[in-house]
Amino acid sequence: MVNLKEALLFLHVAELRQLCMTQGVPSQGNKITLIAPIVHFISTGEIIKEPKIPAISKAKRGCDYPTRA
C-alpha cells in the first residue's frame, strides 16, 4: 500500500476528488485527507463515512459571534 499512497501523492487535488466521487468515497478536504479514504476503500472495500457535525455546533445565519481582538 505504500506504493499506492506514493502514487496518489502525484495526483492533483481535483483528480483525487474526481476519483473519490466515482468510488463514492468522501471528497472533502485537502490532498492528505482525500488519500486516506481512497487507500482504505481499495484495501478493504469499505467506505469511511464522513463524521457528522452536530447541529448545535454549526454556525447559525444572522447571528453575531464574538471575535478575539
Domain parsing of the chain, residue ranges: 2-50
- What would the grid cell of residue 44 be? 478493504
pLDDT at 10 exceeding the cut of 70:
yes
Distances (CA, A) of 63 to 3, 22, 59, 66, 69: 48, 37, 8, 10, 18
pLDDT range class, residue 26, cuts 50, 70, 90: confident
The answer, yes or no, to whether residue 38 has pLDDT greater than 80, is: yes
* Per-residue pLDDT at 16: 95
Mean predicted lDDT score pLDDT of the chain: 87
